Chain A
Amino acid sequence: MATPINLKELSKQEVRFTAGHRLCAGCAAPIVVKMVLLAACDYPVVVASSTGCLEVSSCISTYTAWKVPWIHNAFENAAATLSGVESMYRALKKRGKIDKDIKFIAICGDGGSYDIGFQSLSGAMERGHDMLYVCYDNGAYMNTGIQRSGATPTFADTTTCPAGVVIPGKPQQRKDLTRIMAAHGLPYVAQASPSHWPDLMKKVRKAIEISGPKFINIFTPCNRGWRSRTDDAIMLSRLAVETCFWPLYEVEEGITRITVKPRDKRPIVEFLKAQGRFKHLFEPGKEKMIEQLQEMIDKNWERLLKEEEMTSPKDEGNE
């Protein structure tokens, strides 16, 4: 029987990601990893990571924080590497050399998913490998010194798009990877946030029970890169959900469902003002930019609501 998703029962399970990793104080990535592995606690899992904060800090020299079989290959090919591992598993299972039911999970950052690892991710998903790909999205290349990535939000200050007199932080829009993955026609695609942990764990659990390629994008605050306090990782992810910057939804077999609808949609200003990377937006004369961001978020949220309505299975009795 599956372990119920409540903290009392989950705390009796072993956390398969140990302390002693060298991620920054207050980093949300180990929290996300912990939640994903706890949700999968009923199965033996094999994890792959692409190069990134999580990889370099969880596995330094001869010290590993992982208590599950874990593989790192390069920046661009975590999905391809895990595809190979999964294929080998299927071949051995066919020959009767393995009888365990093993789940395969890739946990990669946004650089390794949105940009550098995008083709291998897209390929692995298209080939239909039985694996769950988790992207922990902290919105820049934090490991190498906060360079912009495809996941960096508009107007965020990074070291390669510094806010100043020439540009107001990142001039471009962020890429919506969750929607791109949904467009691959996968059986399960979702977006989650560690502040809403029962929702996150339910999504991971649902995903690992489905066979075939699955994708979950998880919001992961980074106090170092976002220039925020070390204690606000969970608070910021809650704000991201409540402002609809990071809507929580899932796309299952083409049917979109918003899993958490904020009771009162809060203005994006509340999310922005807690982070130093948006501090230039609060200088006089920049009010237009915050309005522009609010418009973008409203437009996306409206589109998502419409998508949910459009794809929801029609109740035939009401027709």
Chain B
Amino acid sequence: MIGWKDIPPGMVILEAGSALKVKTGSWRAAYRPKWIEENCIHCLLCWLYCPDNSVKVKNGKREEFDYDYCKGCGICALECPGKKGKKAIVMEEEVK
């Protein structure tokens, strides 16, 4: 627990990106995205369009979702071009 004495004057935050400590994944209510690797063309649009940086990419290739931060908005699933008409991201019911 942070007390007022721990906060630098002027409400300056010295640690860049400290919001990462807040796991917004708990906001997901009904749905969570599911990645289907065989339909993925690694276009990385989901990485770009994700408001919560929850799509991990390594060396230009897509990796699994980061469910710690994903709020389940579904933009990735809607925008996914997929392969031969089959989506690489679908929304499925959230399991708690």
A27 to B72, CA, bound (A): 11
A15 to B75, CA, bound (A): 19
Q: Is A58 engaged at the interface, CB distance under 8 Å to the other chain?
A: yes
Q: Is B77 engaged at the interface, CB distance under 8 Å to the other chain?
A: yes
Candidates A63, A223, A231; contact of B19 at CB < 8 Å: A63
Chain B residue nearest in CB terms to A8: B60
Question: Which parts of A66-94 form the interface with B (CB within 8 Å)?
Answer: 66-68
Q: Is A312 engaged at the interface, CB distance under 8 Å to the other chain?
A: no
A229 to B78, CA, bound (A): 11
Q: Is A116 engaged at the interface, CB distance under 8 Å to the other chain?
A: no
In the complex, the answer to whether B19 meets A21 with C-beta atoms within 8 Å is yes
Given contacts A18-B20, A20-B19, contact A35 B48 (CB under 8 A): yes
Question: Which parts of B24-69 form the interface with A (CB within 8 Å)?
Answer: 24, 27-28, 43-45, 47-54, 57, 59-60, 66, 68-69
Given contacts A11-B60, A26-B73, A26-B74, contact A19 B47 (CB under 8 A): no
A63 to B68, CA, bound (A): 16
In the complex, the answer to whether B17 meets A65 with C-beta atoms within 8 Å is yes
In the complex, the answer to whether A19 meets B66 with C-beta atoms within 8 Å is yes
**A to B CB contacts below 8 Å, 5 in the list:** A7-B45, A12-B59, A25-B51, A64-B19, A234-B49
Q: Is B5 engaged at the interface, CB distance under 8 Å to the other chain?
A: no
Interface string of B61-92 (1 = CB under 8 A from A): 00000101101111101110000000000000
Chain A residue nearest in CB terms to B60: A8
**Residue from A19, A22, A231 with most neighbouring chain B CB atoms (10 Å):** A19
In the complex, the answer to whether A231 meets B21 with C-beta atoms within 8 Å is no
Given contacts A12-B60, A30-B51, contact A234 B13 (CB under 8 A): no
A233 to B48, CA, bound (A): 13
How many residues on the A side are at the interface (Cβ–Cβ under 8 A)? 44
Q: Is A62 engaged at the interface, CB distance under 8 Å to the other chain?
A: yes
Q: What are the nearest 9 A-B pairs in CB distance?
A: A26-B73, A231-B74, A20-B19, A25-B71, A19-B69, A7-B44, A65-B19, A8-B60, A25-B73
Q: Which residues of A contact B15 (CB under 8 A)?
A: 62, 64
Contacts from A to B (Cβ < 8 Å):
7-8, 10-12, 15, 17-31, 34-35, 58-68, 194, 197, 223, 229-235
A23 to B20, CA, bound (A): 14
A30 to chain B, nearest CB (A): 4
In the complex, the answer to whether A7 meets B54 with C-beta atoms within 8 Å is no
In the complex, the answer to whether A62 meets B22 with C-beta atoms within 8 Å is no
Given contacts A230-B74, A234-B75, contact A22 B51 (CB under 8 A): no
The number of chain B residues touching the other chain, given as a range, is: 35 or more
Interface of B is mostly: loop
Q: Which residues of B contact A66 (CB under 8 A)?
A: 16-17
Q: Which residues of A contact B77 (CB under 8 A)?
A: 231
In the complex, the answer to whether A19 meets B24 with C-beta atoms within 8 Å is yes
Given contacts A11-B44, A64-B18, contact A230 B60 (CB under 8 A): no
Q: Which residues of A contact B69 (CB under 8 A)?
A: 19-20
Given contacts A19-B66, A22-B22, A26-B74, contact A8 B49 (CB under 8 A): no
Chain A residue nearest in CB terms to B7: A62
Given contacts A12-B60, A19-B54, A31-B51, contact A58 B27 (CB under 8 A): no
In the complex, the answer to whether B73 meets A231 with C-beta atoms within 8 Å is yes
B37 to chain A, nearest CB (A): 17
A223 to chain B, nearest CB (A): 8
B8 to chain A, nearest CB (A): 9
A280 to B72, CA, bound (A): 29
Q: Which residues of A contact B45 (CB under 8 A)?
A: 7
Q: Which residues of A contact B66 (CB under 8 A)?
A: 19
Chain B residue nearest in CB terms to A29: B51
Chain B residue nearest in CB terms to A7: B44
In the complex, the answer to whether B47 meets A11 with C-beta atoms within 8 Å is yes
